[in-house]
Amino acid sequence: MASYESPIREPLILGDKNYKQITTDIVRSTEGVPPKLWFLAITIAGSLAAFYFFCVAWTVYYGIGVWNLNKTVGWAYDITNFVWWVGIGHAGTLISAVLLLFRQKWRTGINRAAEAMTIFAVICAAQFPGIHMGRPWMAFFIFPYPNSRGPLWPNFQSPLMWDVFAISTYFTVSLLFWYSGLLPDFATIRDRSKGKIRKAIYNALSFGWRGEAKHWQRFESLALILAGISTPLVLSVHTIVSFDFATSVIPGWHTTIFPPYFVAGAIFSGFAMVLTLMLITRKVLKLEDYITIAHIEAMNKIILLTGSIVGIAYITELFMAWYSGFIYEWFAFYNRALGPMAWAYWIMMTCNVISPQFFWIKNLRRNLYLTFFLSITVNIGMWFERFVIIVTSLYRDYLPSSWVDYYPSWVEVGIYVGTIGLFFTLFLLFARGFPVIAIAEVKSILKSSGSQARVKQKAKDEATAKGGYSEGLDLSGAHHDVKEN
């Protein structure tokens, strides 16, 4: 708060707000009877989620044979969806951790919902390795526990084993980070509640938070360190996911560019999903004053940056396949771009490389309709990226007699669509019962980044420029001389 902020900077909280108004605006969505639209949405999402469980039960009952995998394409839809969901789950922690370290104030409006989205996306992602084991009740085999087989330990040198640790750590740390940030806001809801039961529930959820000065000090210390360790964690998770492919010897996978390229792609798709959700949330919950066009523009800039990194990675990969002079590598890429599944490659190229380039133009970055459309386009493109990497590297292998076509069975599609239902069910429940914006954090930037703060700062700057003494205008909150005594 003690820093000077230029009045030219766009405000991050619009309208004439005070602390009380901020609480009312954000908590409103958790009070009263949910609107009809919410019931409609959760019915649709819930039905899809139910269909997901049906398809999983079908798979477990009949076996993995109900999927259209074969001996050439042994990995396809499930791993595509796994990587897609994990990628989406990267924006939340990036927003809350990296932007916290960089002291980007615009994170306060969107971090809560983005982190929630991260957690739900990782939950969806974690389904796939579980299901594709075929016997999910044996999932505990992946953990190193003393067993009667030797004990035979899991292979700690395998990237799949690294994945187990990366995903479970990422999920746990994201959950702890998100939940510790929620405590003060649950306390706010608790103290506004009238009903006894509601009060008791939110008191339990807030773990009895009171906002004592020493607790806030610890709270901030915790947030800072968690942000500090989450930053390399975010980068490590998708790096390790990319190792699943990069450490193999399949042409098209065996590439050193994979880790940075996967991380950029993950942030790219994660921000696209945040935008899709935020554009709907701000409209439906009437939070346009807190999730402003400035926030959306900032996210679009990240989409442009990461989208361009992904584009460069695609081209580098293609160039290296040719330049390496390795015929199998070159065949894999030639076949991707011009073979029978070239349509998937070109969908990927169009959605991921061309579409974000619109965001070089300021007016387009600030256009909500285009942003919404492109955010969905990017997620379609990023799904195809994983599909292209996985399926088109496998379906035409070294032996032409084993070349096959791959298309998913209804069960595979059902599981995929079902996880989207699961994701939205969780998100809708979150939007109903949880504060979707970090109330305490938004309040803490009101005096430096609210619209009134900008007006006051401008008046003060003008008075100073005239050489006048700005008494009576010093309301900006920029002055906090704590050490005066």
Partner 1 sequence: MDKYIVGLYDDEEVLLTAVKKVKQAGFHIHEVVTPFPVHGLDDALGLKPSRLHTVGFAGGATGLTIALSFMIWATAVDYPIIYGGKPFLSLPSYIPITFEFTVLLTAISMVVAFFIRCGLSISAKPKIYDERTTDYLFGLAIKVTADTSQDDYARINETFTNTGVAEIKVRDFDDDKK
Region 19-38 residues binding partner 1, contact defined as CB under 8 A: 19-20, 23
Closest distance to partner 1 from the beta carbon of 260 (Å): 16
Considering only residues 385 to 444 of the shown chain, the ones binding partner 1 according to CB under 8 A are 440-441, 443-444
What is the C-alpha to C-alpha distance for residues 94 and 232, in angstroms, rounded to an integer?
A: 10
For partner 1, the binding residue among 172, 324, 357, 402 (CB under 8 A) is 172
Considering only residues 139 to 158 of the shown chain, the ones binding partner 1 according to CB under 8 A are 144, 150-153, 155-158
Q: Which long-range contacts (CB under 8 A, 24 or more apart) does 416-419 make?
A: 416/77, 416/81, 417/48, 417/51, 417/52, 418/48, 418/49, 418/51, 418/52, 418/53, 418/54, 418/55, 418/56, 419/52, 419/81, 419/85, 419/124, 419/127
Q: Which is nearer to partner 1, 189 or 351 (CB)?
A: 189
Q: Which is nearer to partner 1, 212 or 405 (CB)?
A: 212
Closest distance to partner 1 from the beta carbon of 91 (Å): 19
Q: Is 243 in the site for partner 1 (CB under 8 A)?
A: yes
Q: How far is CA 202 from the centre of its chain?
A: 26
Q: Which is nearer to partner 1, 76 or 437 (CB)?
A: 437
| CB neighbour list of residue 197: distance below 8 Å, 6 or more residues apart | none
Q: Name the burial class of residue 320, with classes exposed (0-12), middle (13-18) and buried (19+) by CB atoms within 10 angstroms of its CB.
A: middle
Closest distance to partner 1 from the beta carbon of 25 (Å): 12
Closest to 111 measured CA to CA, from 290, 265, 369: 290
For partner 1, the binding residue among 34, 130, 260, 477 (CB under 8 A) is 477
Q: Which is nearer to partner 1, 139 or 229 (CB)?
A: 229
CB 282 within 8 A of CB 434: no
For partner 1, the binding residue among 127, 188, 355, 367 (CB under 8 A) is 188
Q: Which is nearer to partner 1, 225 or 404 (CB)?
A: 225
Q: Which amino acid is present at 87?
A: G
Considering only residues 191 to 230 of the shown chain, the ones binding partner 1 according to CB under 8 A are 191-192, 203-204, 207-222, 225-226, 229-230
Closest distance to partner 1 from the beta carbon of 148 (Å): 13
List helix spans (H) across 63-143: 77-88, 91-93, 99-101, 107-132
What is the C-alpha to C-alpha distance for residues 114 and 282, in angstroms, rounded to an integer?
A: 13
Closest distance to partner 1 from the beta carbon of 278 (Å): 22
Q: Is 64 in the site for partner 1 (CB under 8 A)?
A: no
Q: Helix (H, G, I), strand (E, B), or coil: what is residue 13?
A: strand
CB 72 within 8 A of CB 392: no
Q: Is 8 in the site for partner 1 (CB under 8 A)?
A: no
For partner 1, the binding residue among 233, 298, 370, 378 (CB under 8 A) is 233
Three-state SS string across 292-344, please? CHHHHHHHHHHHHHHHHHHHHHHHHHHHHHHHCCCHHHHHHHHHHHHCCCHHH
CB 273 within 8 A of CB 121: yes
Closest distance to partner 1 from the beta carbon of 305 (Å): 26
Give how many residues touch partner 1 by CB under 8 A: 71
Q: Which is nearer to partner 1, 283 or 479 (CB)?
A: 479
Q: Which is nearer to partner 1, 37 or 197 (CB)?
A: 197
Q: Which is nearer to partner 1, 90 or 336 (CB)?
A: 90
Written as six digits, the tokens of 429 are 């429940």
Q: Which is nearer to partner 1, 229 or 404 (CB)?
A: 229
Stretch that binds partner 1, among 189-197, 269-277, 408-416, 465-473 (CB under 8 A): 189-197
Closest distance to partner 1 from the beta carbon of 201 (Å): 11
Closest distance to partner 1 from the beta carbon of 479 (Å): 8
Q: Which is nearer to partner 1, 165 or 326 (CB)?
A: 165
What is the C-alpha to C-alpha distance for residues 11 and 311, in angstroms, rounded to an integer?
A: 33
For partner 1, the binding residue among 90, 112, 190, 460 (CB under 8 A) is 190
CB atoms within 10 A of CB 479: 11
Q: Is 9 in the site for partner 1 (CB under 8 A)?
A: no
CB atoms within 10 A of CB 39: 12
What's the number of CA atoms in the CB half-sphere (13 Å) around residue 74?
6
Q: Which is nearer to partner 1, 20 or 36 (CB)?
A: 20
For partner 1, the binding residue among 45, 55, 94, 183 (CB under 8 A) is 183
Closest distance to partner 1 from the beta carbon of 96 (Å): 13
Q: Is 101 in the site for partner 1 (CB under 8 A)?
A: no
Stretch that binds partner 1, among 49-57, 86-94, 165-173, 413-421 (CB under 8 A): 165-173
CB 388 within 8 A of CB 348: yes
Tell me the backbone φ, ψ of residue 379, rounded to 5 degrees. Answer: -70, -35
For partner 1, the binding residue among 43, 47, 169, 324 (CB under 8 A) is 169
Closest distance to partner 1 from the beta carbon of 30 (Å): 14
CB atoms within 10 A of CB 383: 23
Three-state SS string across 186-205, please? HHHHHHHCCCHHHHHHHHHH
CA-atom Rg of the chain in angstroms = 25
Closest distance to partner 1 from the beta carbon of 18 (Å): 7
